[in-house]
């Protein structure tokens, strides 16, 4: 006699739905969500799963959203998260209110003085952001970047340590060619004034998905460290950006063997294609 099948509880269904949402490839969570909603056939379970999964997914993928009012774009990251669904955009000193499930920015407000670094720290942050923007525009045509102060934003002058983080997020979505690709890098920069050193810790992640007549995914991660002298804001920014460029270029070169192997059987899965070629 066959065993009677056990119906999954709503809690179990929610956890399974969350897993699928959280593990969706870059730029594909809305496709997964649409299918899940149809399969679940239970709006309450879906809404609960989506409300919990989307914020985590959006922050981990550091998605870029357009802010209303011609303020530009904002990266949704844990480093810029303030409260609720509010995210700081350091470039414009604006705070974006985000609808995570719809993946849109609904409102914008000016950041308060308490949400921004002191003028001393801001000088270093702005200088680094300017150099990073130059680098990203050259290396990742579809990319965005932001620089945040995550420690010591109240430092008023020399003699105190503070910490910046530079994040880069790039995605190339080409569903009509059955492939997507993403790049995410996070660079923590500890500014140690007492020993006149800037210490860098980088976390790099590459993702690619090819799904024509199959389902092939790549998820590669790499960590690295480096350091340079604590200098003036402009000189320090140039030195940091140069180190970041070196490490990222070196890592991408090391992945060429992997991508070339893919290209034998998957013509459009080149990472550089995914990030730089127009669909």
Read off the pLDDT of residues 208-262 as tens digits, 9 standing for 90 and up: 887 777 777 778 899 999 999 999 999 999 999 999 999 999 998 888 776 676 5
Burial zone of 163 (CB within 10 Å; 0-12 exposed, 13-18 middle, 19+ buried): middle
> CB of 153 within 8 A of CB of 121?
yes
pTM of the entire predicted model = 0.88
pLDDT over 60 (residue 162): yes
4 within some domain: no
Pairing assessment for the beta strands 64-67 and 197-210 based on DSSP bridges? unpaired
Who wins on pLDDT, 14 or 213?
Answer: 14
What pLDDT is stored for residue 178 in this prediction?
A: 73
Q: Select from 34, 66, 26 the least CA-distant residue to 50.
A: 34
Specify the residue for token string 């399974």.
16
> Residues 112, 125: one domain?
no
> CB of 14 within 8 A of CB of 36?
no
pLDDT over 60 (residue 2): no
191 within some domain: yes
Mean pLDDT over all residues of the chain? 88
What pLDDT is stored for residue 5 in this prediction?
A: 66
Residue range 23-32: mean pLDDT, rounded: 89
What pLDDT is stored for residue 70 in this prediction?
A: 81
Q: How many residues appear in the chain?
A: 279
Tokens found for residue 151: 């420690």
pLDDT over 70 (residue 49): yes
> Residues 17, 153: one domain?
no
pLDDT over 70 (residue 267): no
What pLDDT is stored for residue 266 in this prediction?
A: 47
Domain membership of residue 121 as a residue range = 117-276
What pLDDT is stored for residue 208 in this prediction?
A: 81
> Residues 171, 188: one domain?
yes
> Residues 138, 29: one domain?
no
242 within some domain: yes
């Amino acid at each position: 006699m066959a065993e009677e099948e056990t119906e999954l509880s709503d809690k179990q269904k929610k956890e399974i739905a969350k897993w699928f949402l959280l593990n969706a490839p870059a730029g594909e969570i809305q496709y997964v969500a649409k299918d899940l909603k149809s399969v679940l056939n239970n709006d309450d379970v879906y809404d609960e799963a989506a409300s919990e999964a989307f914020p985590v997914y959006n922050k981990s993928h550091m998605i870029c959203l357009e802010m209303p009012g011609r303020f530009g774009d904002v990266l949704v990251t844990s480093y810029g998260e303030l409260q609720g669904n509010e995210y700081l955009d350091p470039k414009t000193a604006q705070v974006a209110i985000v609808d995570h499930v719809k993946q849109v920015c609904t409102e914008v407000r000016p950041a308060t003085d308490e949400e921004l670094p002191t003028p001393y720290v801001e000088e270093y942050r702005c200088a680094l952001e300017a150099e990073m923007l130059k680098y990203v525009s050259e290396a990742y045509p579809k990319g965005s970047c932001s620089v945040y102060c995550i420690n010591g934003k109240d430092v008023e002058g020399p003699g105190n340590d503070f910490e910046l983080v530079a994040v880069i997020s790039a995605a190339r979505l080409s569903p009509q060619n059955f492939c997507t690709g993403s790049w995410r890098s996070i660079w923590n920069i500890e500014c140690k004034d007492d020993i006149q050193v800037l210490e860098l810790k980088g976390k790099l992640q590459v993702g690619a998905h090819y799904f024509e007549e199959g389902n092939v995914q790549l998820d590669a991660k790499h960590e690295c460290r480096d350091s340079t002298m604590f200098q003036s804001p402009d000189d320090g920014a140039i030195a940091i950006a140069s180190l970041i460029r070196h490490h990222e270029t070196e890592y991408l070169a090391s992945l060429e063997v992997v991508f070339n192997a893919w290209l034998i059987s998957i013509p459009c899965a080149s990472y550089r294609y995914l990030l730089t070629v127009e669909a």
